[in-house]
Structure 1
C-alpha cells in the first residue's frame, strides 16, 4: 500500500520556496537600482520613470532601452572578468601596483 501524500507539508514547502524566490527578486532589483546609479534619484522620480517605462507601448523606445541595458550588463561583466583575471590572488594590477576597485 502506498504512503499517503502530506499535502499540507508540500504546500508549506512550496510557499516557503515562493517566498524565498520573491525575496531574492526584490534583493536583485535593489542591487540593479544601486548598480545603475539610480539610487541617487529621488524615489518619486525613479517610481515615475519605471511606471512610464512599464506603460510605454513604443517598440522602438523599448528596443533602445533594451540595448542600453544589455550594454550595461556587458560592461559590468567585462569589468568583473577583468578584476578576477588581474591577479586576484595578490590583488595587484598587471603593472604591479595595487588594483583599484
Structure 2
C-alpha cells in the first residue's frame, strides 16, 4: 500500500526554505554593502548608483565594474585571513560566479 503524501507539509517546508534563502540573500547583500564601504553612503545615493548600474548599456563599463569586483573579492580573501567570506560559503567567491560583487560599482 502506498504512503499518502502530505502536500500541505511539503508546501510549508518549501515555503520555509524559500523564506530562509531569501533572508540569507538579503543578509549577504547587506554584508556586501558594509564590506565595500558603501554603507557610508546615504540610502538615496546608494540606490541611485545601483539603478544606474542596472540601467547601463555600456558593456565596457560593466566589464570594468566586474573586474573591480573580482579584484575586491580576491584581495579580501588574502587580506582577511580567517575572516568568513561575504557569501558565507566558507570558500572564496569566484570572480565570474558572484553577480553582486562583479556587476556593481562606481566607475
- TM-score, length of structure 1 as denominator length: 0.79
Structure with more relative contact order (C-alpha pairs < 8 Å, separation 6 or more): 2
1:63 aligns with 2:56: no
Tell which structure's C-alpha radius of gyration is larger: 1
Structure 1 runs of 4+ with >2 Å offset: none
- Count residues with an aligned counterpart: 83
- TM-score, length of structure 2 as denominator length: 0.74
CA RMSD after TM alignment: 1.2
Unaligned runs of 5+ in 2: 84-107
Give the equivalent residue in structure 2 for 1:49.
Answer: 49
- Between the aligned partners of 1:43 and 1:73, the Cα distance in structure 2 is 23
Give the equivalent residue in structure 2 for 1:15.
Answer: 15
CA shift for structure 1 position 8: 0.5
Unaligned runs of 5+ in 1: 85-101
In terms of fraction of residues, the more helix-rich structure is 1
1:77 counterpart SS class: helix
CA shift for structure 1 position 80: 2.0
Give the equivalent residue in structure 2 for 1:39.
Answer: 39
